[in-house]
Amino acid sequence: MSDTTDTKLESRLEEQETFEPPKSFVEQANVTDPAIRTEFEENWPECWERAAEFLSWDWEYDSVVDAADAPQYEWFTGGRLNASYNCLDRHVEDGAKNRAAIKWEGELGETRTYTYGELLNEVEAFAAALREMGVETGDAVTLYLPMVPELPVAMLACARLGAPHSVVFAGFSADALATRMRSSDSEYLVTCDGYYRRGEALNHGQKAKNGLRNVDHDVESIVVNRLGDESDSSFGDDAHDYGALVAEHEGASVPPVSRDAEDVLFLLYTSGTTGQPKGVEHATGGYLSYAAWTAHAVLDLEPTDTHWCTADIGWITGHSYVVYGPLALGATTFMYEGTPDYPDRDRFWKLIEKNRVDVFYTAPTAIRAFMKWGEEYPATHDLSSLRLLGSVGEPIDPHAWKWYYKHIGDEECPIVDTWWQTETGGTMVTTVPGIDTMKPGSAGPALPGIDARVVDADGDPVAPGNAGYLVIRKPWPGMLRTLYRNDERFRSEYWSEYSEPDEDEWIYFPEDGAKIDDDGYITVLGRVDDVINVSGHRLGTMEIESAIVDVAGVAEAAVVGADHDVKGEAVCAYVVLKNGEEPTVAMRDRIVESVEDGIGPIARPEKVVFTSELPKTRSDKIMRRLLENIANGEELGDTSTLRNPDAVETIARQVGDD
Ligand code: WTA
């Protein structure tokens, strides 16, 4: 293509505000009838049977939703099922034993494929080992593993036994692991010796071992040997070897334990306003139905597809769309261990070409990095196997959307910009790709059956185009059931803002700002609580602050998100030192190190600003909004409510001088 044609094309795209789903896509799409929205609305809640139909039930449910304990709604009550049976056995019984369930590539280029038959065998062998070790129905098993196939194996083995898993992102620190194990009373840990990042072997085993030092109860550990000869034996004889266990139990038959639809499938910790991470609890029937239904309707997955969701399984996106959704539908899920720029910046495109990936689901932060690296990287690869593209984790701006559409999708793949959260279990606000017009920058309408609104502080609908708060008015099957051992916090975090308990009206508040257009399309603006979104990772500012004030000599800290062109937001920390302490480079290093130790390198402050005081209201609340303005070099808003208005000027000057 000549330069002029290319420029013309670019400017046409830049001006275009809406995009119709390509005909070739619509012709084969799973969901194509626009009447589905009215159908779901008119038949609510029975419409959700449509999601439950994606699963095989051991026992039929009596009712779709039970609101007796609202907002702790129960879904598909009376029904029984097993998630691992639904993701494995039934596909094998249906003749798919030789179809690939997981295709995996390590960062160094080694590959592994597990057919459905092989995956079932390994899951049964590992489940037998766990059972022998004493794991019983209801026991929380912590999985602290990177992107290796043993992670989904362990998840499904837990599900088979009815033992809730609690996956801890491998990038989290030893302390973060310990906090989560203590909080979930987890007595079992599956981890590994290490894994590769940019060609280097990371000593994950040592980190896990350090974490266990801060867990007072006894823990049985199982270690996957990922590094072969390079393996470090941090655990020595204190742990079981995964490979040996699986070999020992090869051929074992472990019948799937029939679970009540409401039994917990897993816990997943996420960040909220306070310093303590929240243990989000998902139930077997509702969660799995919703993951399968949305993978079908939104990701358009078919059993013949190879699906690549680039999220780490340590986050909800990986749970729902690397593991449970694709496997429940009998598709092939692709996993990659490493980074997109190792050994070169075309690694993802190489993987798509080589594995003939049909559906690709990634995060805006990755797309922004790809844009920066340049279109020549995807251009040298055959990406024609792609049929649908997805985006998740943070808002995607129209420019990045269009780049993705053109340079990855060749203008032939619809893009689904999916808004959802750890708590929602699956996607909630997005276009249905076979039906809806796409508007770059706007996630789209709520999915059929989801009642999403944008309201003001009083709960009244805002006028189209104005900013307000996103709320969800009716329950849905994928919703969290509660926060682990904390029904109180569950109610206060999500249901206290807009609900009218006296009228038995329950409204879920996800803590996101949004605006809505005339046509019902929702643009999500970002968190309105003290949570920041760094490269699509959800981090609590209070957790970071508490790691900073742990450093000797620090008096006070406030953390905000500063705009960042690739990460979306970057961590910016304002730190007040105790009298007599000097703001030295060594002090800055100790602060950064403490955050890495307390949470992990993802939470590393990009900027540390030492200041003599923090702007506070008369009631002594830190005005983070002003600190955010300063970090972003924006106009300072109203400072008249401050107890110490001068502080703002001083900090702004300091940041300017930096
Ligand atoms: C943000 C990730 C805009 C949002 C699935 C939400 C988004 C938080 C989008 C949840 C999107 C996720 N557009 N913002 N398409 N998707 N978010 O729990 O602020 O890790 O509340 O779940 O990510 O993050 P979580």
Domains of the chain by residue range: 59-98+110-282, 531-657
CB atoms within 10 A of CB 282: 27
- The answer to whether the CB of 282 is under 6 A from ligand 1 is no
- The answer to whether the CB of 221 is under 6 A from ligand 1 is no
For residue 77, give the amino acid letter: T
Q: Kindly report the CATH class assigned to 59-98+110-282.
A: alpha beta
Q: Torsion angle, CA of 615/617/621/622, rounded to 10 degrees?
A: -20
The tokens describing 519, both together, are 């046509």
Q: What is the maximal distance between C-alpha atoms in the chain?
A: 73
The residue-averaged pLDDT of 589-612 equals 96
pLDDT at residue 8 in the model: 64
Instruction: State the Cα–Cα distance between residues 332 and 379, nearest whole angstrom.
Output: 25
pLDDT band (50, 70, 90) for residue 116: very high
pLDDT at residue 658 in the model: 63
For the cut 80, the answer to whether the pLDDT of residue 656 exceeds it is no
**Of 27-36, 232-241, 621-630, where does mean pLDDT reach its minimum?**
232-241
- Alpha-helical (H) ranges within 283-362 are 284-297, 316-318, 325-328, 347-355
Is the sign of the CA dihedral 492, 495, 498, 501 positive or negative? negative
Can the peptide bond before residue 445 be classed as cis, meaning omega within 30 degrees of 0? no
Fill in the DSSP letter of residue 311.
S
The tokens describing 437, both together, are 């017009």
The residue-averaged pLDDT of 453-465 equals 96
pLDDT at residue 645 in the model: 84
**The sheet that has 415-418: what strands, in order across it?**
111-115, 100-105, 332-336, 306-309, 359-362, 388-392, 415-418
pLDDT at residue 6 in the model: 58
- Here the ipTM equals 1.00
Residue environment code for 50-83, b if the CB has 16+ CB neighbours within 10 A, otherwise e: bbbebbebeeebeebbbeeebbbbbbbbebbbbb
- The answer to whether the CB of 418 is under 6 A from ligand 1 is yes
pLDDT band (50, 70, 90) for residue 2: very low
For the cut 50, the answer to whether the pLDDT of residue 227 exceeds it is yes
The residue-averaged pLDDT of 259-288 equals 94
For residue 302, the CA-to-ligand 1 centroid distance in Å is: 25
- The answer to whether the CB of 429 is under 6 A from ligand 1 is no
Q: How many CA atoms lie within 13 A of 156 on its CB side?
A: 31
Bridge partners, 572 (sequence order): 560, 607
For residue 421, the CA-to-ligand 1 centroid distance in Å is: 5
**Of 38-52, 79-93, 129-143, 617-631, where does mean pLDDT reach its minimum?**
617-631
Spell out the SS3 assignment of 116-154. Answer: HHHHHHHHHHHHHHHHHHCCCCCCCEEECCCCCCHHHHH
pLDDT at residue 420 in the model: 98
For residue 393, the CA-to-ligand 1 centroid distance in Å is: 4
The residue-averaged pLDDT of 466-478 equals 97
Q: Are strands 195-197 and 165-167 parallel, antiparallel or unpaired?
A: unpaired
pLDDT at residue 5 in the model: 52
Bridge partners, 143 (sequence order): 167, 190
Nearest to 472 by CA among 417, 419, 397: 419
The residue-averaged pLDDT of 293-302 equals 98
pLDDT at residue 130 in the model: 98
Q: How many CA atoms lie within 13 A of 151 on its CB side?
A: 28
pLDDT band (50, 70, 90) for residue 467: very high
The DSSP element (H or E) to which 183 belongs, if any, is helix 174-183
pLDDT at residue 9 in the model: 63
pLDDT at residue 589 in the model: 98
Q: Hunting for tokens 């969660």 — which residue is that?
A: 287
For the cut 60, the answer to whether the pLDDT of residue 465 exceeds it is yes
Residue 226 · residue 195 · CB < 8 Å: yes
Q: Choose which residue among 512, 521, 532, 539 to substitute to test ligand 1 binding: the one with the highest number of ligand atoms within 8 A of its C-beta.
A: 512
Residue environment code for 611-625, b if the CB has 16+ CB neighbours within 10 A, otherwise e: bebbbbeeeeebbbe
The model's pLDDT over 313-358, given as tens digits with 9 standing for 90+, comes to 999 999 999 999 999 999 999 999 999 999 999 999 999 999 999 9
- What phi, psi does 102 have (nearest 5°)? -125, 130
For residue 314, the CA-to-ligand 1 centroid distance in Å is: 15
pLDDT at residue 637 in the model: 76
pLDDT at residue 1 in the model: 44
For residue 419, the CA-to-ligand 1 centroid distance in Å is: 6
For the cut 70, the answer to whether the pLDDT of residue 3 exceeds it is no
pLDDT at residue 524 in the model: 97
The model's pLDDT over 482-537, given as tens digits with 9 standing for 90+, comes to 999 999 999 999 999 999 999 999 999 999 999 999 999 999 999 999 999 999 99
| Percent of the chain surpassing pLDDT 70 | 98
Tell me the whole-structure pTM to 2 decimals. Answer: 0.96
CATH code of the domain occupying 531-657: 3.30.300.30
Average pLDDT, the chain: 95
